[in-house]
Amino acid sequence: MALVDVLAGVLSGSPEEAVARRLDFDRLPKHVAIIMDGNGRWAAERHLPRVEGHRAGIESVRQTVETSARLGLSVLTLYAFSVENWKRPVPEVTALMGLLRHYLRAELKTLLRNNIQFRVIGQLERLSREVREELEAAVDRTRTNSGMVFNIALSYGGRAEIVDAARQALAHGVKPEALTEEMFASFLYTSGQPDPDLLIRTSGEMRVSNFLLWQIAYAEIWVTDTFWPDFRARHLLDAVADYQKRDRRYGAVTSDSAEALK
């Protein structure tokens, strides 16, 4: 995947094309994680019920998955439903689960065609049997795909994930003195995946909201005021372009600043 693949998915002469042409395909983030936010406010602005914001957000999911795969990302993680979201009114939760099932039915073929491996992370035991079965079927059908990994975080909480990982480590008889960061990470839901390099949040909120708390330790954060239902390929490409301007230091000094200190 590369520039030609991205260009095949955008209109010639469009702003997307201009941003795509400026990207350095040798310095792409491996893993992009997105906090999809603002569906309710998008709906409120249009005097629509909240669920219409979620429904409109499906098209953003579709475009984001496709553009990410065309870019050649290794992993895309979308935060679809948090452990805190269980506190929302039952009709909204039911509608969200229905939209998720609708998405899977409509998009499974696209995931297969694009060699995408679908995964789900979170406390799945809290989901209904019907939703779980449908998710498991999609995970199974795409298991041998070798392209981008697409994680949906569902009934997900970062703290809960860390507690689950600690429990797993104990259950595997890991001795406290033998526990390392790498070993601990192998008990997380994202075991074997690179940590997110880029964390995107829509709707202008400056919070991480209990998302991938361990994994985002060194992620670059990009926030847009755009509500999730208006998020398009262009926004993703803008985020990646901005990421490529960042100076990732991981707590160390860069060669430039080291030079200046001399």
Minimal distance, residue 241 CB to ligand FPP, in Å: 24
**Which region, judged by CB under 6 A, interacts with ligand FPP, from 34-42, 161-169, 214-222, 244-252?**
34-42
Binding test (CB under 6 A) with ligand FPP, winner from 19, 23, 28, 57: 57
The vertex-66 CA angle with 218 and 222, nearest 5°, equals 30
Is 54 a binding residue for ligand FPP by CB under 6 A? The answer is yes
Site for ligand FPP in 162-221 (CB under 6 A): 203
Which one-letter DSSP state was computed for residue 223?
A: E
Q: Cα(142)–Cα(147) distance, rounded to whole angstroms?
A: 10
What are the contacts of 103-111 at 24+ separation with CB within 8 A?
103/58, 103/61, 103/62, 104/134, 104/135, 104/138, 105/134, 107/62, 107/65, 108/138, 108/141, 108/142, 110/62, 110/65, 110/66, 111/65, 111/138, 111/142, 111/145, 111/150
Amino acid at the residue 182: E
Site for ligand FPP in 89-148 (CB under 6 A): 96, 99-100, 103
Binding test (CB under 6 A) with ligand FPP, winner from 40, 122, 158, 196: 40
> Which residue in 85, 115, 145, 210 is the catalytic one?
85
Closer residue to ligand FPP in complex, CB, 19/233: 233
> Which residue in 24, 26, 37, 256 is the catalytic one?
37
Closer residue to ligand FPP in complex, CB, 97/166: 97
Q: How many CA atoms lie within 13 A of 65 on its CB side?
A: 27
Q: Which residue is nearest to ligand FPP (CB)?
A: 40
SS3 120: strand
Residues with catalytic annotation?
Answer: 37, 85
Positions that interact with ligand FPP (CB under 6 A): 36-41, 54, 57-58, 61, 78, 80, 85, 96, 99-100, 103, 152, 203, 228
